[in-house]
Amino acid sequence: EKAKTLKQELQNVFALFTNVHMLMLTPLILQSNWFYTYEFNGVNALLFNARTRGLNSALYWGMQMVGALALGKILDLACLPRRQRALLGLTIVAVLNTIQWVYAAMIQLFFEGGYDRTRPPVPIDFTDTARFWAP
């Protein structure tokens, strides 16, 4: 295929941004990255010491890869019709996101007297087994 001109490429990009299907995906795209500032600065940096932050980050990104692989395998199941795979995938993501937000709310509201950035708690180390997994 012959390479397109810069003008044609820009027109194609603009057409993509006006495509109704792409516009409908915009809330999902925004939601999927909205929480990183809160997770890495408001939780990870505030609650954990340096070595636990490193471990937490490594486990976080590793589990994202495992989760994406597992969800991809579920969405590729040939034994289920496309609609059932889509509903199953949506249900899994919705349930896990709800659990994540409930857990985050529990940490923010109840962990060691509530979330207050002006009086940070003693940083948690992963060897502090009484404190590291739940508020």
Mean pLDDT of 4-27: 91
Contacts of 55 (CB under 8 A, 6+ apart): 126
pLDDT at 121: 76
Contacts of 87 (CB under 8 A, 6+ apart): none
pLDDT at 134: 58
How confident is residue 2, by pLDDT bands cut at 50, 70 and 90? Answer: confident
Q: Whole-angstrom Cα distance, residue 108 to residue 114?
A: 6
pLDDT at 110: 78
pLDDT at 14 over 60: yes
pLDDT at 124 over 80: yes
pLDDT at 135 over 60: no
Kindly report, residue by residue over 59-107, the tens digit of the pLDDT: 999 999 999 999 999 999 999 999 999 999 999 999 998 998 898 888 8
pTM given for the model: 0.69
